[in-house]
Amino acid sequence: MIVQCAYFYIMQTMADKIIRFNTHLVFEGALPKGIRIMNPFREQPGVVDVMTQFYHKFYNDHAQRRIIIGINPGRFGAGITGIPFTDSHRLADPCGIVIPGIKTYETSSVFVYDVIAAYGGPKAFYKDFFIGAMSPLGFTAQKADGKEVNYNYYDSKALTDAVYEFMVTNIHKQIGLGMGREICYCLGTGKNADFLSRLNEKEGFFEKIVPLEHPRFIMQYRLKRKQEYIDKYLEAFSI
């Protein structure tokens, strides 16, 4: 029976493995007061179907990819689509997958898909890369006025400590989907890169980590230099 299960897992395409990974994500620990876990695969109607279409379209093979690791899903990107750095607009065009009745705009996805276009389009890009995250589930915090906002795993030590083992476990699982260990691209040259680098020294995930400026930072503070950063991404991907 164990041999049969192992054989079945090996024969699965990367798409099958990613879909299973996403649909089995669960965090059972305790979070700091005022912080909520965000799991689009259980909270958003239709997300599993959309995510399934996406990965079957671009990952339905057994080829190894390089991994790009972000921070954690945001409310208007993967928090809605289930696909990192992809809002409903870019999911429809250029990916050709429509979420009925939902329109979202996520600033970071604009830059990421400019990079993807420069690389040769979604088919070429996703054949070579998989975008994951330190935490594959997102977090939100409630402000004094009741508004819910994005929260990152490193925004408080209490949250980092609470989700530490969850992140370690799920980085191992993301690598196990079929990622190469030679190189990892880290989105964020500050706190995310620092944390991942220290974690990598302990866990030995990758041989090399290449930090890249986070898409949101570029779009918010370096917009006039966007092409320069697109070129930087492309140069890093050519290593």
Which pLDDT belongs to residue 148?
87
Is 23 part of any domain?
A: no
Q: Is residue 8 part of a domain?
A: no
| Ranges of residues in the chain whose predicted pLDDT is under 50 | none
Indicate whether 183 belongs to any domain.
Answer: yes
> Is residue 12, in this structure, part of any structural domain at all?
no
Q: Dump pLDDT digits (tens) for 16-31.
A: 999 999 999 999 999 9
3-state SS, residue 115: helix
Please count the other Cβ atoms lying within 10 Å of the Cβ belonging to residue 34: 11
Residue 11 lies in a domain: no
CATH number of the domain to which 99 belongs:
3.40.470.10
Nearest to 39 by CA among 26, 53, 54: 26
Q: Is residue 175 domain-resident?
A: yes
Question: Please, what is the end-to-end C-alpha distance for the chain in angstroms?
Answer: 42
In a domain, 213, yes or no: yes
Specify the pLDDT at position 188: 97
Q: What pLDDT score does 144 carry? A: 78
- The boundaries of the domain holding residue 221 are 31-237
Q: How many CA atoms lie within 13 A of 219 on its CB side?
A: 13
> Tell me, what's the pLDDT at 73?
94
Q: What is the pLDDT of residue 239?
A: 81
**Total domain count for the chain?**
1
In a domain, 24, yes or no: no
Euclidean distance between CA atoms 112 and 85, whole angstroms: 7
**SS3 labels along 14-79:** HHHHHHHHHHCCCCCCCCCCCEEEECHHHHCCCHHHHHHHHHHHHCCCCCCEEEEEECCCCCCCHH
Q: What share of the chain is helix, strand, coil (3-state, %, to 5)?
A: 50, 15, 35
